[in-house]
Amino acid sequence: MRKIRFVLIFCLFAWACLQSAAQAEVFRIAALMPSATNDLAFSQSMYDALAAIQEELGEEAFEFTIQDSAYIVDDAAVALRDWAASGKYQLVIAHGSQYGPIVEELATEFADVSFAWGTRQDTFGMDNVYSYAAASDEGGYFNGVLAAHLTESGVVGLVGPIEVGDGKLYADGFANGVASVDENIKVNIVFIGSFSDVPLATEAAEAHIANGADILTGTAQMVVGPIAVAVANDVLWFGSDASQDDLSEDIGVAFQIYKWEVLLLDMIANIKEGKLGGEYYKLTLENEGLVMEFDKDFVASEALLAIAEETIASIVSGDIVPIPEMAEEMMDEDDSEDEGDGG
């Protein structure tokens, strides 16, 4: 009797080992995105990253599945739970800070599944949650510095979605970047209250130009409208999230590009070694998760290239802090956390 039980347990064990071995061959990621994968912005940046990883690792070693346009926050709960419960995916990504509370709940329930969510610096203190963010203020600052050098009218315009998250970071970084060169340059900022309202974003860009802006920038998927306005009025465009090179014709200057693959590859390596989370990643210019790319059609002068390089170097070295208030705040947070740990 005991012998049979032993054999049975052994068989089960062997079967389980085989299962996990078979699964280990292919790494599978499931990712949830708030807008369409072809939005030339936030969602596309993640989709491109996953595609890049598949390119690098090969289809036999890496697979991914997605659900996009999940702007209904609560729908995320269904998708994420479905993926977590299926046991098929080594990593489940919730690509949007609005999904955070759902990840927090699910990660408790599915302790053996690894989750990643962003953009936010908060793993909820859990061992199976990675969090990630992009220092979009760095790219904003960089774009701001260049914009300040390129503007002739002394007015630049920014079209943002709602005044939170990455959009706000970018805007504040941009404004500080401009001010670092010349405090007299006006940065006009309009948040249109929507990520997707292209007609309104278009008119906001027109309003900027009517008020003297000769350089435009902005974030979120509705910036396709402002880009078209920039093209029509022949003013320069600075972009963020993904490359908008195709659309910006000859007026694009520089784009801040999110290379999520930089941190995803690290996560994958960690998970393969059994570390399911507990770490916070940030895309920065320093770790090359943020890449500043000049538009192919833009011809930068020697002087401008030098300024660009210097700006990046200073941000990387920490000589330039794009948003000083935020850095102070984070320092405070760190302090209080230390105190908490001590107590």
- 192-211: contacts with other proteins (CB under 8 A): 192-200, 202-204, 206-208, 210-211
CB of 85 to other proteins, least distance (A): 7
Helix spans in 151-299 (H) = 165-181, 198-210, 224-233, 245-248, 261-272
CB of 159 to other proteins, least distance (A): 10
The interface with other proteins within residues 98-127 (CB under 8 A) comprises 98, 100-101, 120
DSSP 135: -
- Which residue stretch of 33-41, 270-278, 293-301, 305-313 sits at the interface with other proteins (rule: CB under 8 A)? 33-41
The three-state secondary structure class of 324 is helix
The β-bridge partners of 32 are: 67, 94
CB of 260 to other proteins, least distance (A): 18
- Which residue stretch of 14-22, 176-184, 189-197, 283-291 sits at the interface with other proteins (rule: CB under 8 A)? 189-197
The interface with other proteins within residues 139-158 (CB under 8 A) comprises 157
- Which residue stretch of 71-79, 110-118, 146-154, 265-273 sits at the interface with other proteins (rule: CB under 8 A)? 71-79
Q: Which amino acid is at 211?
A: N
Which DSSP helix (H) or strand (E) runs through 293?
strand 290-294
- Give the residue with the Cβ less far from other proteins, 203 or 261: 203
Backbone torsions φ then ψ of 230, nearest 5 degrees: -60, -45
Which DSSP helix (H) or strand (E) runs through 30?
strand 27-32
CA 98 – CA 80 distance, rounded (Å): 13
Q: From the list 19, 38, 108, 336, which residue makes contact with other proteins (rule: CB under 8 A)?
A: 38
CA 151 – CA 293 distance, rounded (Å): 19
Q: Is residue 188 part of the contact set for other proteins (CB under 8 A)?
A: yes
Q: Is residue 228 part of the contact set for other proteins (CB under 8 A)?
A: yes
CB of 51 to other proteins, least distance (A): 13
Place of tokens 């405070």: 332
CB of 61 to other proteins, least distance (A): 19
- Give the residue with the Cβ less far from other proteins, 30 or 307: 30
- Kindly state the number of chain residues that form the binding site for other proteins, as judged by CB under 8 A: 76
The interface with other proteins within residues 296-335 (CB under 8 A) comprises 323, 325-326, 329, 333
CB of 310 to other proteins, least distance (A): 26
Peptide bond into 119 cis (omega under 30): yes
- Give the residue with the Cβ less far from other proteins, 66 or 308: 66
Q: From the list 118, 140, 144, 165, which residue makes contact with other proteins (rule: CB under 8 A)?
A: 165
Which DSSP helix (H) or strand (E) runs through 109?
helix 100-109
**Which residues contact residue 226 at a Cβ distance below 8 angstroms, ignoring those fewer than 6 apart?**
159, 201, 202, 204, 205, 216, 218, 237
Q: From the list 57, 78, 300, 321, which residue makes contact with other proteins (rule: CB under 8 A)?
A: 78
The interface with other proteins within residues 246-265 (CB under 8 A) comprises 246-247, 249
Give CA separation, 18 vs 21, 270, 311, in Å. Answer: 5, 21, 52
**Which residues contact residue 268 at a Cβ distance below 8 angstroms, ignoring those fewer than 6 apart?**
27, 29, 53, 90, 91
